[in-house]
Amino acid sequence: QLQEASRENARLSGLLELKAALSGHSEAAHVIYRDPGNWLESVVIDKGSSQGLANGMAVVGPMGVIGRTASITPHTATVLFAIDSRSAIGG
């Protein structure tokens, strides 16, 4: 349990450092859906236009750019991974 708590602490510290380094608006989100047949290309997160997200916004994590937002609804957004050919980042 101590190792797990230490890993979680390191992860959260990294996220706080990332948030401090980002300029402008940022939102933390959770993945709420991953299509089993398409899990390498996109996920759905629990943030959308009600939280200020719009199509084409960059999605970043502790390791860097993950992808960009697409298919925004008021409370969800699809994130196209940077490696997806439909993403302007990777294609």
Tell me the pLDDT tens digit for each residue of 4-43.
888 888 777 766 766 665 666 678 899 999 989 887 889 9
Q: What is the pLDDT of residue 7?
A: 82
More confident: 19 or 84? 19
51 DSSP 8-state letter: G
Taking CA atoms, 50 is separated from 13, 36, 46, 67, 74, in Å, by: 27, 27, 11, 20, 5
43 CB-side CA count, 13 A: 17
Q: What is the pLDDT of residue 91?
A: 44
Q: What is the pLDDT of residue 18?
A: 62
Looking up tokens 């993950």 gives: 66
Mean pLDDT throughout 59-63?
Answer: 79
Which CATH number describes the domain made up of 27-81? Answer: 2.40.10.340
pTM over 0.85: no
- Where are the domains positioned within the chain? 27-81
Looking up tokens 């992860």 gives: 11
The encoded tokens of residue 49 equal 């236009």
